[in-house]
Amino acid sequence: MRISKKVSSMNPMFLIILLSFSLFPSPAYADSISCDGGIVSDGDSVVDLLMKCGQPAWKESHQEEFTDRLGPGLKQRTYITVEQWTYNFGPQQLLRTVTVKNGVVTGVKTGQYGPSKDQVPVKPECGDRIISTGDTKGEVLAKCGEPFYRTSHDEELREQFDEIHSRRVVVTVEEWTYNFGPQRFLRIITFRNGKVVDIRTGRYGR
């Protein structure tokens, strides 16, 4: 009886809104991408991705190296090939960046609205307002086009799990420099393992 009184006392409009939410399908998970050929989720193979979504607009890859100390004088070194596949479905849909590790889909990121496929990015607008940390190289290419100059190097880091156990990690660091001409500053974007970690300005371009 207590329950029935509580329900009957609810605002009718609230009940309608509550019921309407229950009728809507749940949103797509962040670990899946929907293409014309079907849905691809975490754990699917890169072959499934190709068959359902086709080739991406941009594809970048790097190698991650991990060294685990298994015991005194015993180490295990693991190499993982990481790819970022960015799909551009046009200006009416959001960019989708799929992470592939050793041929298996491991994540999907949703970006901003994609540019028109026949449109050249407006490079002078390639600034902090449209680029942010965490963006992938494919997203930067979609917004800014090809950089004027690229350079890369590897950095070795050490992850300490506890007082005894640690892991050696090799990170690929890239710098992309955009030259917008003598009236604008150079824009320098730093990536670590394919993702933006720093955006800064340089001197005037040429």
Q: What is the pLDDT of residues 102-126, one digit of tens each?
A: 889 999 988 888 777 665 555 545 7
pLDDT higher than 60, residue 61? yes
The total number of structural domains that make up the chain: 1
73 part of a folded domain: yes
17 part of a folded domain: no
Asked if 150 and 134 touch (Cβ cutoff 8 Å), the reply is no
List phi, psi (to 5°) of 22: -70, -20
CA distance 23 to 10: 20
pLDDT higher than 60, residue 88? yes
- Percentage of residues in the chain with pLDDT exceeding 70? 75
Cα dist. 32→128, 142, 200 in Å?
A: 28, 21, 33
The 3-state DSSP class for residue 15 equals helix
Asked if 185 and 177 touch (Cβ cutoff 8 Å), the reply is no
192 part of a folded domain: yes
163 part of a folded domain: yes
162 part of a folded domain: yes
Read off the pLDDT band of 164 (50, 70, 90).
low
Q: What is the reported pLDDT for 14?
A: 37
pLDDT higher than 90, residue 75? no
Cα dist. 153→42, 67, 146, 182, 191 in Å?
A: 30, 19, 19, 28, 11
The owner of tokens 């607009």 is 57
The 3-state DSSP class for residue 3 equals helix
Q: What is the reported pLDDT for 127?
A: 60
Cα dihedral 15/20/22/25 (nearest 10)? -170
67 part of a folded domain: yes
CA distance 179 to 188: 9
Asked if 166 and 160 touch (Cβ cutoff 8 Å), the reply is yes
Candidates 60, 176, 175, 179; CA nearest to 123 is 179
The owner of tokens 């298994």 is 70
Q: Which structural domain, as residue segments, surrounds residue 105? A: 29-204
Stated pTM of the model? 0.62
23 part of a folded domain: no
1 part of a folded domain: no
